[in-house]
Amino acid sequence: LMAQHVALAENYTKTDTQYEASVAAVDCIRIINSSKISKIVDRILQQLQTADSAQVYVEAVGTALTKVVSITEIAKRKLAGIHQLNTPFTTKVIEIWSPNPDAE
């Protein structure tokens, strides 16, 4: 049965991935595994110091969650008087697969 699934997967190509979050945040900073911690911390501090809003939304998925915790802790140490509020939410991932034109 597993061999059939592998053979069927070879006949398709992933064409798009869409994310639907249960919480919509304006000006959200999305952290991925390859994000550089120092650049994200600088962006957060700049947004807090120059924006009219006193809030910054930072989100991560999967293994990047530990990175977002480190980033927020560093930002809290660099800018005194800010607080962290964690709100877990779900994200629906929709993968779109299209048949290969040369598939048998």
CA-nearest of 82, 67, 72, 80 to 41 is 72
Asked if residue 13 lies in contact with residue 100, where contact means CB atoms within 8 angstroms, the answer is yes
pLDDT digits (tens, 9 = 90+) for 44-72: 888 888 867 678 888 888 889 899 989 98
Distance between CA atoms of 98 and 38, rounded to whole angstroms?
Answer: 38
In the structure, what pLDDT confidence band is assigned to residue 26 with cuts at 50, 70 and 90? low
Predicted structure pTM score? 0.63
Gap between the Cα atoms of 13 and 5, Å rounded:
14
Least reliable range by pLDDT among 2-6, 14-18, 58-62: 2-6
Assign 84 a pLDDT band (cuts: 50, 70, 90). Answer: confident
What tokens appear for 6 in the block? 């592998």
Q: Is the model's pLDDT at 4 over the cut of 60?
A: no
62's tokens: 């999967």
Mean pLDDT on 74-100: 84
pLDDT in tens, 36-50: 999 999 998 888 888
Exposed, middle or buried by CB within 10 Å (0-12, 13-18, 19+), for 95? Answer: exposed
The backbone torsions φ and ψ at residue 92, rounded to the nearest 5 degrees and listed phi first, read -90, 125
Q: Does pLDDT of 5 surpass 70?
A: no
Token pair of 101, please?
């034109």
Residue closest to 23 by CA, chosen among 52, 55, 57, 54: 57
